[in-house]
Chain A
């Protein structure tokens, strides 16, 4: 076991945590914006998959990775708009519509992928993003090479957390989002459009989920497989609760999950071979469940979460 603990403080291990945390952080922030406005988006798993596929396809056909990222973000925003259309404009059940969006997006991703790439024995891959070291900062011992020798998308995620906190807590739009998620009637009577604010928040959330998907196929795996998301979307939903709907805490939750996941990967690799590897795979999820059970007891969801808003009703 001590070998495992030694590894924790290795550059490679820290870098792995950061890499695993990045798509989770994007997805968690995306879900958080949506839920702060009062809209649960269970479409997250499917949206991430579709965006992973769309970004990968665009990058592989055009040869431009950033075009791929842009396509993924736009597709994510579009799917967010679709979810908002059902849940915000039409006021339908958020649970049902979210699962519908996940099924629709997953099906669409499989279908389009087969249509474009056919059935190949080895899935096609692309030349993904390369780490971009940041001069000077990389020279910091251990932390430098682990954090500041990463993909540009990782840096984007690191910036996204304080930016999300700023937008949510310091801007008038962020206040509207919070108010709309707490008491839409109060926002409405203060002259804020509940429908528009919720649409915007869910669309922004979808775009962030798109970034998460793009990271998976263009930086982490450089290929698209049907299992590429493998539950990360669902984990993000749990992390939002764990992070109490706060950008900083949510990002912290993503890091914690990534730590357990990275640890689990190392344990699989480091000679504890007599234990079936599936046992290790379970670890991060068991951790999530246990942590949720302890941490979410005094977490309070936005009061208007799941509640559609219709003006002339009381």
Chain B
């Protein structure tokens, strides 16, 4: 075989005391799709940032087509033919698609080369079936389209290797198929691809070979992902077997949260139209639906961020009057928002402060109006241990955590106070399977203790495993509710498209 497209040898990178990568070797051949697996905080993103020139490695070499290259910044990486689609997109929302593509591209006689850019965009569209309207501002694109723009951006610069960091975490299941088709076509044309994902069935379906990282080191390699089981891969990642939790049969109690005829208006996104639902003590209610069908508004109403225009909500028998987060919290509601970075944690504050933020004024963390740093710290340390949050310590900036660890920190924060009813969106997005199992167990334990949980999600497999009932949202309404006995992926999928209304007496 000829020299690999890209080879990384002995890459080591530390952040202070944390060894994010240690002597990692990895190579990709032309036309190959390499899976990069590992637990949250295993160092996948760091390794790719080193390859892309965003981080300088402490040791190690990078070879492109057999020749050693020095990659000091992204410009060097791009020149070497390496393109990257980051976990959090690198786009300027107020600039147009074309402007985002042409950034950093030399102009023609001093001006931006729009004509050349358009021609190249069309060529990429023909070659890989990826197209976008060039003059739209990026803010008008859906998440899936923004990702397509990031891929086009890399191809635009002549990437021979494309790195995708958890590209499917932000996509609806239907969009995933489109992405995979495009990636397969690119590989068929000789591009090398590095694909990071926590969803092992995706990895098995797409990749030709896998490298597994654990605690920054290569823990194993998988040569035939298609014929390897998810359980085997999970064992390589975590070092032990992962047993799926079981949902024991139970009889739910009285309703802990009810919505009656809730409608909203005057906000971004799909408004709610006459939504009524309830969740009982000892029950997990799933909210399925293609994202953008009112899930955001539903979560915002229930968590007190958006007062509804009509309708009532009760928690544990008490009618909600003001719809403020504080009031709802006092009534016993816990919430884990969808957007971790903006409404979840404060990325510039120490992790410990972020973890007590919703309860900062309560007796546990302050005395006579002054904060009690020792208590805050102790609480954070306890949760870091309990949830296995990989970080240098409670005083680290929350923003320095890996994506999955941020998510764990948020879950820890809410679950620590044992809310009567919990609303959570996409609970395991970005979590490795060990961490996802752990979260599932926590939810099921809450259920066994007689708490009510509402899970908003797009991952139907997960909803089917967790939930006692699943309601489907379509265009701001509840299109129907199925009990776990009746629900199947196929039936839910049909209801999510607005077809087949199904009513069920709960």
Contact = CB atoms under 8 A, between A and B. Distances in A.
A186 B89 CA distance: 8
B464 to A, nearest CB: 34
Contact of A187 (B104, B107, B112): B104
B135 to A, nearest CB: 13
A300 interface: yes
A314 B399 contact: yes
A190 B95 contact: no
Interface stretch (B72-80, B215-223, B246-254, B449-457): B72-80
B92 A183 contact: yes
A89 to B, nearest CB: 16
A182 B93 contact: yes
A190 B153 contact: yes
Interface string B403-414: 000000000000
Contact of A176 (B94, B103, B400): B103
B54 interface: yes
Contacts of B266: none
Given A176-B104, A314-B400, A189 B86 contact: yes
A312 interface: yes
Nearest to B45: A314
B399 A179 contact: no
Contacts of A175: 95, 99, 102-103, 112
A186 B103 CA distance: 9
A196 to B, nearest CB: 11
B239 interface: no
What is the predominant secondary structure among interface residues of chain B facing chain A?
Answer: loop
Contact of B104 (A183, A190, A312, A314): A190
Interface string B339-364: 00000000000000000000000000
Contacts of B95: 175, 178-179, 182
Contacts of A313: 399-400
Nearest to A188: B74
Contact of A182 (B86, B94, B111, B112): B94
Interface string B76-112: 0111000010100011111100011011111100111
B52 interface: yes
A264 B27 CA distance: 73
Contacts of A182: 92-95
B55 interface: yes
B150 to A, nearest CB: 9
B106 A186 contact: no
Contact of B91 (A170, A171, A176, A183): A183
Interface residues on B, range: 20 to 34
A179 B92 contact: yes
A300 B95 CA distance: 13
A200 to B, nearest CB: 14
B19 to A, nearest CB: 15
A271 interface: no
Nearest to B399: A314
B110 A186 contact: no
A183 B90 contact: yes
B55 to A, nearest CB: 6
Given A175-B99, A313-B399, A189 B107 contact: no
Nearest to B105: A172
A259 B94 CA distance: 32
Interface string B359-392: 0000000000000000000000000000000000
Contacts of B157: 190-191
Given A171-B112, A178-B92, A179-B95, A190 B106 contact: no
B79 to A, nearest CB: 8
Most chain A beta-carbon contacts within 10 A, residue among B52, B54, B55, B90: B90
Contact of B73 (A178, A185, A186, A191): A191
Contacts of A274: none
Interface string B218-259: 000000000000000000000000000000000000000000
A186 B100 contact: yes
Nearest to A172: B107
18 contacts: A170-B112, A171-B110, A172-B107, A175-B95, A179-B95, A179-B103, A182-B94, A183-B90, A183-B93, A186-B90, A187-B92, A188-B54, A189-B86, A190-B78, A191-B73, A193-B75, A313-B400, A314-B400
Interface of B: 52, 54-55, 73-75, 77-79, 84, 86, 90-95, 99-100, 102-107, 110-112, 153, 157, 399-400
Nearest 5 A/B pairs, CB to CB: A191-B75, A182-B92, A186-B90, A190-B104, A172-B107
